[in-house]
Chains A and B, each alone.
Chain A
Amino acid sequence: MSLNVDRAGSAFTFKGGMLPMTVMELISADPERIREQLAGKLSQSPAFFQHTPVVLSVEKLDEPHLALERICAVCRAHKLLPVAVRGGADPVKQSAWALGLGWFPPQEERTRALESVAPSAPAEAPQPTPEIQGAVGSRIHRGTVRSGQQVSAPDGDLVVLGAVNAGAEVLAGGNVHVYGALRGRALAGIRGDREASIFCHELHGELLSLAGNYKRLEDIDPQLLGKAVQVRLNDDQLTITPLV
């Protein structure tokens, strides 16, 4: 139940928001070349291609007509989700709309000027790597995570300054750090990162999971309960070692 909805008697509210969005700056309009490059990137950093929404920017292209439908199909085949097109002439706008995509006007002159200062920038668009994502998506939660609450940092580390109580769940794409008692569930490496670990001051966790491998409270050596520990993955086995 949402009290807000009841109060207003309306089904939804509109809210302004600034969401981080990857822009795919097209330098070539040839779907085949795009496909080749995407296939290479996919093998390098598979974590990035998780149906990630992207905006296709065609500002650098001088072609009034684009094989937009084929380009979108190539993107989707590589688990990128085109949500909008930026720039381009009127036919591009019309075909974007026809494909159910949004259309943004070209970026302002100000950013153009910046790009001309660094001419190499568009050619080597920054490649998102798991490490950079981790730094960006990290999250610090101050206070106790209570029963029924879920705190997650899907793209980075999660730091909890407090306890995670029984019935609560903390999740991170990277590591989970609990500076307090861990009594609930902790899941690290939820996107398959096998290097992810869990750290806590006092181990009583209901469930510990690393990259899909898990241990229940029952499986944990009673000697380790209540200790400050780190949990790591060794050959698909969770290893719990006291922190000295």
Chain B
Amino acid sequence: MAKIIVVTSGKGGVGKTTSAAAIATGLALRGNKTVVIDFDVGLRNLDLIMGCERRVVYDLINVIQGEAGLNQAMIRDKRVDNLHILPASQTRDKDALSAEGVEKVLDALSKDFDYVICDSPAGIERGAQLAMYHADEAVVVTNPEVSSVRDSDRILGLLSSKSRRAEQNLDPVKEHLLITRYDPERVSDGDMLNLEDIQEILAINLIGLIPESEAVLRASNQGVPVTHDMKSDAGQAYTDTVSRLLGEDVPLRFHEYQKKGLLSRMFGGGRR
């Protein structure tokens, strides 16, 4: 049975899809058979981040409506053998997602895969609730700013009341906090919320901290999940996050502001 992990946030633009792609890639690189599903029907992005947009024929909605089989719709990743992508539909809207259909797809995938990663749409409406409903674990992506933290708080409330585990009185969904776009320099200047404040408000376990990084934008535009860029700080931070998801104890990195030394100031600080 696969572990179903939803990547969610409430707020848009905080890095859900980037994180879903990076985590799925990381899990597959570690030898786990992984599929990542785009639940953002109508605003499909995951295929772009994963660099497979030219190979999309069928999508999640086609599968749900019986117009295509799962194996026809799933795209095998070119870089990692164990990784598959199930894209969303760009032409339909969220009403095409049915609860029964999602359940059927997830049940089928659970038999063949070790990990099913659900990339949730923003918001707290139907699409987001269907993406989280079957989750065993949740990665709540939060930026260091007050509106993002409040929306994450709202999503955590929904996870504890509107998920399958909550409704069937099973063990609750395991919640993880993933802080993205963290800029230690701006945190030390007081422009951004710091790590401790976010953790205090949300009161859940921190699974990772991804620093604000040029590598993320570059990776998105090239269609290569940032996990492949092991020279970058963001790539390393996502790799750490995956290790923690797999139960390993990895110390936190990239959260402290280091004043630039003379050399790095002269030579532009090198590649981030």
Contacts and interface: CB of A to CB of B under 8 A. Distances in A.
A144 interface: yes
B99 A165 contact: no
Interface string B122-139: 001110011001000000
B247 interface: no
B128 to A, nearest CB: 10
Q: Name A's interface SS.
A: loop
A163 to B, nearest CB: 7
Interface residues of A, number: 18
Interface residues of B, number: 24
B203 A7 contact: no
A3 interface: yes
Contacts of A4: 167
A146 B156 contact: yes
* Residue in B125, B130, B157, B167 with the greatest tally of chain A CB atoms within 10 Å: B157
A146 B154 contact: yes
Given A147-B150, A166-B150, A3 B162 contact: yes
B153 A6 contact: no
B100 interface: yes
B98 interface: yes
Interface string A173-206: 0000000010100000000000000000000000
Given A6-B98, A163-B201, A163-B203, A1 B157 contact: no
Contacts of B124: 148
Given A146-B157, A147-B154, A162 B203 contact: yes
* Residue in A144, A163, A167 with the greatest tally of chain B CB atoms within 10 Å: A144
Given A163-B203, A168-B157, 20 more contacts: A1-B126, A3-B99, A3-B129, A3-B130, A3-B133, A4-B167, A144-B156, A144-B203, A146-B156, A147-B150, A148-B124, A148-B153, A148-B154, A163-B201, A165-B150, A165-B153, A166-B153, A167-B150, A167-B153, A168-B153
